[in-house]
Structure 1
Amino acid sequence: MRTLAREKERQGRERKGWMVMIYDLSGSPVASASMITPFVPSPGTDRVSRSNPGAWLILRPHGFSVSSWKPWGRLEAWRERGPVDGLGYKFELVTDNGPSNGVPIAEATMSVKKGGLFCIDGRVSKSDSAASTSSRSPIKGFVMGSTVEGEGKVSKPTVQVGIQHVTCMADAALFIALSAAIDLSMDACRLFSRKLRKELCHVEQDSCS
């Protein structure tokens, strides 16, 4: 009984297994966002730290099988400490060398209370605190922007994508999946001393009880 109690407590202290699937008009899956690293609090705290972030893979179909996917991007997220409570994040494009050898694209912090704009735009000065494009990013020009609501609010992201980065529906779907992942990271990084919003309770029963 003691072992079962500890296992239930451990499960209640992690948020894992979340997935978003994007479909085209024919009903075929064209992109997905899969939580590959659970969001767990650092020892002795109730927050996800930068030293141990949760992570998502943004995936695109690979081959003819509906169950075959290829990583396109990797998003890490955590809860920043400081004068302003923030959601920290880092996004990288995945290369053929695997997710651990990604190309840095965006890294920034967003207000947990107010939310903000997740934006990948090479035109924005790297010294601008509102910029999310990584200083090592090879990106030129505007790529995408997505609105994110503050913590606890039901979010309906508005996504804009630069036309030069979209050649088909599947390309646009990848950016939609990425925007969904950053949006859900606001919930995944919610302090573990607080309950998740009710829309997510069917995913994490222990965190809502």
Structure 2
Amino acid sequence: SLPSDFNTSNRVWARTFSGERDNNRVGRERKGWMFIVYDLSGSAVAAASMVTPFVPSPGSDRVSRSNPGAWLILCPNGVSISSWKPWGRLEAWRERGPTDGLRYKFELITDAGLTSGAPIAEGTVSVKKGGEFSIDNSRSDSALSFLLKNRGFVMGSSVEGEGKVSKPVVQVGVQHVTCMADAALFVALAAAVDLSMDACRLFSRKLRKEFCHDEQESIN
């Protein structure tokens, strides 16, 4: 559900949902970020909500594979703006290796609930150069082919490298969209991938200034 101080005039909304504040943890976790997509009438049609904080693994300054941060991609559930239904789950972490990368895994949530997602996309985006997040349903033996009746390209979005001001370009296969709400879910997913680049930034480095109010709010 959404906090009581949320209002529909906000186009992008991100803040820290901390209850009891622990000043010793300031700057050591990134949590509570949320991105909401609206239609032309001003109604919320999709959202990406950070449900698992991005925190560094013990003894390091990076989000690791053993403890990834996570987002839920949400669609409205009824007429209330505070009621959402999960559509997908995105996990992200900072991958070690020859090329420093943002690693991600996306699952569609089935009727069985949050514990039984169907994995449909996994990959790595270069932290330095950026890259592209994509979902493709071309293979008949993929898990996605059992969930989506239409084959072919599903979606793709650009992801900027770390520290760069990002303006993701999102493309969606027309055969997978029947209404504005369908397209909005892919936009929310693209936003979650893009924001994960910031959420997985090394904790020894400061976030971009757009996110600094989150850490300041935790101090006040």
Give the TM-score, by structure 2 length: 0.84
Q: 1:159 aligns with which of 152, 164, 170?
A: 170
1:141 to partner: Cα distance: 1.2
- Pair 1:105 & 2:120 matched: yes
Instruction: Find the residue that maps to 1:117 and give its secondary structure.
Output: strand
1:206 to partner: Cα distance: 7.5
Aligned to 2:18: none
Q: For residues 105-154 of structure 1, what are the alpha-carbon distances to aligned partners after superposition, in whole Å with 9 as ceiling and x for unaligned?
A: 10011100000010111348x9xxxxxxxx64436310000000000000
Aligned to 2:5: none
Q: For residues 51-90 of structure 1, what are the alpha-carbon distances to aligned partners after superposition, in whole Å with 9 as ceiling and x for unaligned?
A: 1000000000011222111000000000000010000000
Residue correspondence of structure 1 range 61-140 to structure 2 within 5 A: 61-123=76-138, 136-138=143-145, 140=151
Counterparts of 2:218 and 2:64, CA distance in 1: 18
Residue correspondence of structure 1 range 1-209 to structure 2 within 5 A: 7-123=22-138, 136-138=143-145, 140-205=151-216
Counterparts of 1:204 and 1:25, CA distance in 2: 32
RMSD value, Cα: 2.0
Q: Percent identity?
A: 76
The one-letter amino acid of 1:86's match is G
Instruction: Find the residue that maps to 1:78 and give its secondary structure.
Output: strand
Between the two proteins, the alignment pairs up a number of residues equal to 194
Equivalent residues of 1:196, 1:207 under 8 A apart: no
- Taking a change above 3 Å as real, the CA distance of residues 207 and 117 of structure 1, as seen in their structure-2 partners, is farther
Q: For residues 152-186 of structure 1, what are the alpha-carbon distances to aligned partners after superposition, in whole Å with 9 as ceiling and x for unaligned?
A: 00000000000011100000000000000000000
Equivalent residues of 1:11, 1:206 under 8 A apart: no
Counterparts of 1:91 and 1:67, CA distance in 2: 24
Aligned to 1:130: none
Aligned to 1:3: none
Equivalent residues of 2:35, 2:48 under 8 A apart: yes
**4+ residue runs over 4 A deviation:** none
Instruction: Find the residue that maps to 2:214 and give its secondary structure.
Output: coil
1:96 to partner: Cα distance: 1.6
Equivalent residues of 1:85, 1:113 under 8 A apart: yes
Provide structure 2 residue ranges, at least 5 long, that are not aligned to the other structure: 1-20
Equivalent residues of 1:201, 1:207 under 8 A apart: no
Counterparts of 2:162 and 2:217, CA distance in 1: 19
Equivalent residues of 2:54, 2:200 under 8 A apart: yes
Give the TM-score, by structure 1 length: 0.88
